[in-house]
Amino acid sequence: MEIAEVLGYFGALIIGVVLGLIGGGGSILTVPIFVYLMHINPVTATAYSLFVVGSSALIGAFKNLRKGLVSLRTAIVFSIPAFIAVYGTRKFLVPAIPDNLFSVAEFMITKNIGIMVFFAMIMLLASVSMIKNRKATLQKKEEVLYNYPLIIIEGFIVGVLTGIVGAGGGFLIIPALVLFAKLPMKKAVATSLLIIAIKSLIGFVGDVENLDIDWIFLISFTGISILGIFLGMYVSNFIEGKKLEKGFGWFVLIMGIYILIKELT
């Protein structure tokens, strides 16, 4: 086994630990780990990421359901347009993207480069969300009414983005649930995990017919990530995860900039 592969499996553990500690964000590392350490094609990497993200989020969602923190009504309203969008994106849109998108001077922007650049931009947005004090900025909007049309539109948009980059999109879902569904922050975070699990796993189903899935690798990687979640939950008894969120946000920011530089130079 190559050193990069060993680091990749260690990365799977880190993804889980971060998810267990701060309740989100770690899954944004799955695509870079698959592409740069496991040397997997970006299209396949985003598909694998959906499975890892969905399975990991499902663990957290079950835990939150038992605690009564999940708003099932909101999850259903948000999830229906999201999973329709993510399934359609993986089944039809991603395969339809041409291998060569466009050229700048003599530099050809391919499908793989385009996906990674778009993913890096999503990482930059996610990092800003983690670096900022999300709780302080969102709870000022408590008087916003429960807005079903906006929840549905946001669900569709998040579904398309998730389908393209293979990330959970919690940094988009949580503000939507607080602003449009008027959920308290703790309930919004818990509900977002169920939404992420549903749409990610259904999105992955859209890939099964289009891609040759290495199930043994994918299940083993996901299993290590899930072990990491339980380790993260245990460590969170001694360290307050939210204190680490800003630091992890800076790491994601650096990773996003690195991907941009690597793909465009």
pLDDT at 130: 76
pLDDT at 215: 95
pTM recorded for the entire structure: 0.82
- Range list of H helices, the chain: 3-22, 30-32, 42-66, 72-88, 94-96, 111-131, 134-138, 148-165, 170-180, 185-208, 215-235, 241-264
pLDDT at 139: 47
pLDDT at 153: 87
- Nearest alpha carbon to residue 166 among 220, 79, 94: 94
54 sits in the region (left: phi over 0; alpha: psi -120 to 50; else beta) called alpha
- In terms of Cβ atoms closer than 10 Å to its own Cβ (0-12, 13-18, 19+), residue 171 is buried
pLDDT at 166: 76
**Cα-flanking dihedrals φ and ψ of residue 5, to 5°?**
-65, -45
pLDDT at 213: 92
The string of pLDDT tens digits covering residues 87-98 is 899 889 989 999
pLDDT at 141: 47
pLDDT at 137: 45
Enumerate residue ranges in the chain where pLDDT < 70.
Answer: 1, 23-26, 133-146, 168, 240-243
pLDDT at 146: 61
| Angle of CA points 158, 162, 163, to nearest 5° | 120
- Nearest alpha carbon to residue 42 among 115, 117, 121: 115
